[in-house]
Amino acid sequence: MNKASSIIQIENLHAAYGRSEALAGITLKIGKNQRWAIVGPNGAGKSTLIKIMAGLLKPSSGSVLLNGCDIRQYSSRKRAHVISYMPQKPDGLIPYTVYDFVMLGRYSLMGLMGVPSKEDREVVAEAIEICDIHHLENRIMSTLSGGELQRALLAGAVAQSAPVLLLDEPTTFLDPAHERLFFDALCRLDVKRELTTVMITHDINSALYQCSHIAALKDGQLLYGGSTGEFKKGCPELLEQIFGTRFMQFNCSELSAEAYGSWGMKCLQ
Ligand code: ADP
Ligand code: MG
């Protein structure tokens, strides 16, 4: 890791569902202002890891330190000031309108009985604009399409204004234009708020070109945890080891290289 002080420190983390082990000894240091991609096959333990980092699941052993302090010592209110978490899919159908849902991100800071202030409304309006969901404000969350729902969930996480964003597959259902908007929004937020972001993604090329660091999980174990630069040097073999399928490098034209770098990785069918 570079000199950035670590905001999240994960030490020898184990987790299980009943007798089935989901994480088998993960150790990772996440520095301030870094953007991490968590990659790995289905069932590798990615969501389990991010939920433990969000303080929503208890590990069977090991620890997560947030700013040097065990996350179990944080109250949920105190945690909400530091971490916002965007789930892959919300638990159950959400009966709120999009606007009210995004405002919920503020309630975690002010308490449910709180009355939104002018600042709360401004932050919510900004999150709605950043995620391009103004036209969906009055829609009920449960009626949204996959991509619309992801943008509304992201707006809720952004409105919380926490310095750490934990995102579980935030781009899976986005069309290419909105995926681009998503990364542009992250860049703007990075500059404005000095964000630390950890996002699970299946898009290897987004991980390679949009993230500073990569954590690769397989069968609950960390196969790689470090800079994207070093990860690239190990490609395609590293990707083949992680996903158990062949990858090849492709070169980008000058035009797409501007946006995505000069090469990418493609999975061979
Ligand atoms: P990923 O996000 O990488 O796809 P998960 O962290 O969701 O993986 O799951 C890791 C393993 O734990 C998988 O085998 C999954 O089936 C299992 N698992 C996840 N959640 C539960 C649960 N609530 N109860 C039982 N098993 C679970
Ligand atoms: Mg998952």
Ligand nearest to the backbone CA of 218: 1
- What are the strands of the beta sheet with 69-70, ordered from one edge? 20-31, 6-17, 61-66, 69-70
Residue nearest to atom 6 of ligand 1 (CA): 45
Q: Which atom of ligand 1 is nearest to the CA of 45?
A: 6
Give the chain as a 3 state SS string: CCCCCEEEEEEEEEEEECCEEEEEEEEEEEECCCEEEEECCCCCCHHHHHHHHCCCCCCCEEEEEECCEEHHHCCHHHHHHHEEEECCCCCCCCCCEHHHHHHHHHHHHHCCCCCCCHHHHHHHHHHHHHCCCHHHCCCEHHHCCHHHHHHHHHHHHHHCCCCEEEEECCCCCCCHHHHHHHHHHHHHHHHHHCCEEEEECCCHHHHHHHCCEEEEEECCEEEEEEEHHHHHHCCCHHHHHHHCCCEEEEECCHHHHHHHCCEEEEECC
Report whether CATH 3.40.50.300 matches the domain 6-82+162-261: yes
Residue nearest to atom 1 of ligand 1 (CA): 43
Ligand nearest to the backbone CA of 172: 2
Q: How far is the CA of 158 from the centre of ligand 1 (A)?
A: 26
| pLDDT for position 192 | 79
Q: How far is the CA of 59 from the centre of ligand 2 (A)?
A: 16
Q: Which atom of ligand 1 is nearest to the CA of 44?
A: 3
Distance CA 28, CA 9 (A): 6
Query: pLDDT per residue over 104-159, tens digit each?
Result: 888 877 765 678 889 999 999 999 998 889 999 999 998 998 889 989 999 999 99
| pLDDT for position 255 | 55
CB 33, CB 190: distance < 8 Å: yes
| pLDDT for position 1 | 40
Q: Which atom of ligand 1 is nearest to the CA of 40?
A: 3
Q: Which atom of ligand 1 is nearest to the CA of 49?
A: 6
Distance CA 171, CA 197 (A): 14
Q: How far is the CA of 167 from the centre of ligand 1 (A)?
A: 16
Q: Which of 26, 23, 25, 28 shows the shortest CA–CA distance to 6?
A: 28
Tell me which amino acid residue 99 is.
Answer: Y
CB 31, CB 2: distance < 8 Å: yes
| pLDDT for position 260 | 58
Which residues in the chain come in under a pLDDT of 50? 1-4
Cis geometry, peptide bond prior to residue 236 (ω within 30 degrees of 0): yes
| pLDDT for position 111 | 60
Answer positive or negative: Cα dihedral of 267, 35, 12, 63: negative
C-alpha distances in angstroms, 240 versus 42, 43, 208, 210? 15, 17, 15, 21
Domain ranges of the chain: 6-82+162-261, 100-160
Q: How far is the CA of 253 from the centre of ligand 1 (A)?
A: 39
Q: How far is the CA of 199 from the centre of ligand 2 (A)?
A: 11
